[in-house]
């Protein structure tokens, strides 16, 4: 390299450094700064968990995100909704669903399943306490003669699997399982499903009205002061997305229909495990 070439290179480097310094100073003076909802990490914008929640609810209208946490996959958050998980990049540009499997060990680890179970266990005590505070007068109850367990079911009379579960209420009662219904009009307050549930809750005999609604598809329009709207709001707070949604005595959430024999076996196993652990 000639002397002239060396001098030219030094001049060019000095010019670039000065330009960068002036640009940085100019940004400071103009007040440009990263928004509080994000930060610059390794040259990329990383949104906060709250910003990710707002973004998802805006882009995927109709879902309610209950929480957003760091995921096992670097560069992605895991967002919980209705007992399910979405994975979204920290910059909010990419999203995927499904099971996230870890392959670093001897056998695959299902991180999605593990996170779902952990979150359900975390929320169970609060769910149990909330359900315990609801008056039984605000429920539609099918009581077992020799009650061993009481499950609470959020239901919609238009739901096929809700009707399937209801057909098994006599078998559940025979197993010592009391079924307590709360209202979950999936189409929302003011919908046809809402009106049907109101007619059940306002009936003189709520159990008979529920039987007629689910087994015979018969509804007698009726109105009164009722808890249907508040119970629907509770499904939003619990992050429920489908019916039937079963809440067990300890607050465990089971989403969807479960055959009565499997449900009884599950309840019995939980009781035995709790007894063995001294709970």
Distance separating alpha carbons of residues 246 and 277, to the nearest angstrom = 24
CATH classification at residue 173: 3.40.30.10
pTM of the model: 0.71
Domain total of the chain: 2
Q: Are residues 162 and 228 in the same domain?
A: yes
- At residue 272, the pLDDT reads 82
Q: Which residues are catalytic?
A: 156, 159, 162, 186
Q: Are residues 143 and 242 in the same domain?
A: yes
CATH classification at residue 42: 3.10.450.70
- How is the beta sheet containing 76-81 ordered, strand by strand? 67-70, 76-81, 84-89, 95-96
The tens place of each residue's pLDDT in the chain, 279 residues long, gives 444 344 334 334 343 334 434 444 444 444 444 445 666 555 578 999 999 999 999 999 888 898 999 999 999 999 998 778 999 999 999 999 999 999 988 999 999 999 988 888 888 999 999 999 999 999 999 999 999 999 999 999 999 999 999 999 999 999 999 999 999 999 899 999 999 999 999 999 999 999 999 999 999 999 999 999 999 999 988 888 789 999 999 999 988 999 999 999 999 998 888 777 666
CA neighbor of 154 nearest in space, from 218, 206, 76, 232 = 232
Reported residue count of the chain is 279
SS3 assignment, position 152: strand
Residue 243 lies in a domain: yes
The sign of the CA dihedral 252, 254, 260, 266 is negative
Distance separating alpha carbons of residues 175 and 209, to the nearest angstrom = 23
Is-contact 87 77, C-beta < 8 A? yes
């Amino acid at each position: 390299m000639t002397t002239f070439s060396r001098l030219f290179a030094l001049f060019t480097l000095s010019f670039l450094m000065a330009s960068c310094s002036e640009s940085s100073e100019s940004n400071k003076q103009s007040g440009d700064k990263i928004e509080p909802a994000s930060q610059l990490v390794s040259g990329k914008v990383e949104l906060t968990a709250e910003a990710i929640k707002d973004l998802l609810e805006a882009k995927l209208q109709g879902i309610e995100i209950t929480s957003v946490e760091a995921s096992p996959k670097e560069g992605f958050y895991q967002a919980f909704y209705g007992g399910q998980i979405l994975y979204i990049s920290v910059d909010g540009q990419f999203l995927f669903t499904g099971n996230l499997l870890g392959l670093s060990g001897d056998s695959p680890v299902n991180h999605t399943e593990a996170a779902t179970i952990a979150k359900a266990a975390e929320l169970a005590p609060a769910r149990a306490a909330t359900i315990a505070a609801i008056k039984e007068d605000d429920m539609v109850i099918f009581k077992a003669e020799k009650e061993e367990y009481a499950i609470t079911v959020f239901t919609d009379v238009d739901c096929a699997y809700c009707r399937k579960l209801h057909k098994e209420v006599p078998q559940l009662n025979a197993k010592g399982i009391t079924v307590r219904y709360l209202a979950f009009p999936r189409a929302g307050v003011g919908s046809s499903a809402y009106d049907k549930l109101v007619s059940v809750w306002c009936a003189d005999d709520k159990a008979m009205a529920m039987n007629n609604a689910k087994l015979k598809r018969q509804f007698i329009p009726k109105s009164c002061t009722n808890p249907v709207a508040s119970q629907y709001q509770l499904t939003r707070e619990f992050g429920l997305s489908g019916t039937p949604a079963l809440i067990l005595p300890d607050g465990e959430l089971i989403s969807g229909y479960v055959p009565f024999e499997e449900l009884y076996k599950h309840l019995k196993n939980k009781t035995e495990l709790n007894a063995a652990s001294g709970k």
